[in-house]
């Protein structure tokens, strides 16, 4: 196995793997980057603490943090690669450098280390399946895009963030005969989880998630709102769902009150029959009743199910774009 690159000889930086005790410093790093680069990726401190519970992350090997003498996080390399896959091995690279510490040799090292660690991980999975290194950037973030492209990454997919003003009326909920809609509850969680993996199976880049990941990062997030989330059922089976979120803390930073339609899906047998539209309308009605001013969501610009037009038809409009960058 190839050895990892060594940190540059720069004074005032201590390099070591990141640990849960660094969550607050990492959170502040992302807050500072978000403010400088006009993005909204920081989440909450609780989100960062949960990242260290991810069963697919070995933080002692898959992360590297640069700390200043004052304990500030100056840079972070974070590599994540799900172990349970069906189609393609992917390693996700998150190289993040504080705006005050973007020295060329430091930024170059963070991405070189991330790529080298990602290749170590993928080399251990020698089962003949394709492999991909993947990064992400906002479409306007030329610094981050240039960093990836200078290391041979190229754009491979684009995504939209969409928003709708809930001051405007929401259409009534209409479902096909034989279906019923209910608020999400723990009693339907297992069935919702199964429907999630089934409904997203044909989406670009999707790999089925494990139940422990679902429990941690979907219905386990502090911003998850079960009272604003819904499932559509055919008898006892969940055939559609909208898992929704609301984070007053993140909204305060953005200066806008919005609820997130985080994960909306419909199993194949019930697509193109108005189920997604019904879930959207019910979610927006619930947001309105909770006094939330806007609804937001993310979508693959080339979504194969026609989701983009569904969202546009109920009043959503694109407000920003992001991209995935890849390298084999």
Comparing 14-152 with 161-322, is the CATH topology the same?
Answer: yes
**pLDDT-above-90 percentage for the chain:** 93
Q: Which of the residue ranges 123-132, 141-150, 208-217 would you say has the lowest mean pLDDT?
A: 123-132
Q: Residue 128 and residue 326: Cα distance in Å, rounded?
A: 19
**Given its phi and psi angles, is residue 157 left (phi above 0), alpha (psi -120 to 50 degrees) or beta?**
beta
Q: What is the arithmetic mean of pLDDT over 66-71?
A: 97
- What pLDDT is stored for residue 128 in this prediction? 85
- The full set of domain ranges for the chain reads 14-152, 161-322
Please give the pLDDT value at position 53.
97
Q: How confident is the model at residue 116 (pLDDT cuts 50, 70, 90)?
A: very high
Three-state DSSP class for residue 234: strand
pLDDT digits (tens, 9 = 90+) for 161-218: 999 999 999 999 999 999 999 999 999 999 999 999 999 998 998 989 999 999 999 9
Q: Which two tokens stand for residue 298?
A: 């993310």
The secondary structure of 132-170 as a DSSP string is: EEEEEEETT-HHHHHHHHTTT-EEEEEEEEEEEETTS--
Residue 16 reports pLDDT greater than 90: yes
pLDDT digits (tens, 9 = 90+) for 238-294: 999 999 999 999 999 999 999 999 999 999 999 999 999 999 999 999 999 999 999
Closest of 46, 50, 42, 104 to residue 73, by C-alpha = 42
Q: Which helix (H) or strand (E) holds 57?
A: none
pLDDT at 84: 77
- Identify the three-state secondary structure at position 73: strand
* Confidence category of residue 303, pLDDT binned at 50, 70, 90: confident
Question: For residue 87, what pLDDT is reported?
Answer: 81
| 51-67 mean pLDDT | 97
Distance CA 256, CA 223 (A): 16
Q: How far apart are CA 158 and CA 58, in angstroms?
A: 29
- Cα distances from 100 to residues 74, 97, 107, 148, in angstroms, run 8, 8, 12, 19
- The DSSP secondary-structure symbol of 200 reads T
Q: CATH homologous superfamily for 14-152?
A: Gcn5-related N-acetyltransferase (GNAT) (3.40.630.30)
Q: What is the pLDDT of residue 163?
A: 98
pLDDT tens track for 27-40: 999 999 999 999 99
Q: What is the mean pLDDT of the chain?
A: 96
pLDDT-based confidence at residue 86 (cuts at 50, 70, 90): confident
What pLDDT does residue 276 have? 97
Q: Is the pTM of this model over 0.85?
A: yes
Q: What is the pLDDT of residue 82?
A: 92
Checking if the pLDDT of 131 tops 90, the result is: yes
Write the CATH number of the domain with boundaries 161-322.
3.40.630.30
Instruction: Please determine, for residue 2, whether its predicted confidence score (pLDDT) is greater than 90.
Output: no
Q: Are 328 and 133 in contact (CB under 8 A)?
A: yes
Look at residue 83 and tell me whether its pLDDT is greater than 90. no
| pLDDT, position 126 | 84
pLDDT in the model for residue 205: 87
Position 127 scores a pLDDT of 86
What is the CA angle 283-286-289, rounded to 5? 155
């Amino acid at each position: 196995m190839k050895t990892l690159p060594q940190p540059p000889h720069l004074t005032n930086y201590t390099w070591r793997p990141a640990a849960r005790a660094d969550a607050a410093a990492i959170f502040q790093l992302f807050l500072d980057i978000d403010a400088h680069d006009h993005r909204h990726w920081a989440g909450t401190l609780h989100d960062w603490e949960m990242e260290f519970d991810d069963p697919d992350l070995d933080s002692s090997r898959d992360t590297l943090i640069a700390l200043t003498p004052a304990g500030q996080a100056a840079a972070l390399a974070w590599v994540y690669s799900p172990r349970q896959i069906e189609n393609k091995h992917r390693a996700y690279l998150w190289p993040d450098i504080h705006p005050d510490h973007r020295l060329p040799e430091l930024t170059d090292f963070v991405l070189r280390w991330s790529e080298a660690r990602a290749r170590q991980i993928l080399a251990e999975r020698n089962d003949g399946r394709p492999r991909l290194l993947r990064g992400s950037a906002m479409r306007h973030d030329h610094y981050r895009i240039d960093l990836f492209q200078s290391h041979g990454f190229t754009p491979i997919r684009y995504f939209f963030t969409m928003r709708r003003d809930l001051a405007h009326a929401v259409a009534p909920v209409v479902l096909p005969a034989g279906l019923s809609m209910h608020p999400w509850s723990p009693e339907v969680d297992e069935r919702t989880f199964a429907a999630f993996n089934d409904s997203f199976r044909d989406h670009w880049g999707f790999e089925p998630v494990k139940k422990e990941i679902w429990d941690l990062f979907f219905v386990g997030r502090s911003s998850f709102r079960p009272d604003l989330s819904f499932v559509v059922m055919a008898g006892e089976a969940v055939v559609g769902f909208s898992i929704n979120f609301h984070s007053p803390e993140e909204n305060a930073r953005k200066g806008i009150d919005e609820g997130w339609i985080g994960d909306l899906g419909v199993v194949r047998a019930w697509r193109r029959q108005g189920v997604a539209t019904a879930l959207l309308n019910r979610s927006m009605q619930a947001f309105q009743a909770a006094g939330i001013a806007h609804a937001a969501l993310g979508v693959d610009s080339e979504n194969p199910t026609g989701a983009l037009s569904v969202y546009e038809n109920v009043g959503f409009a694109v407000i920003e774009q992001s991209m995935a960058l890849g390298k084999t």
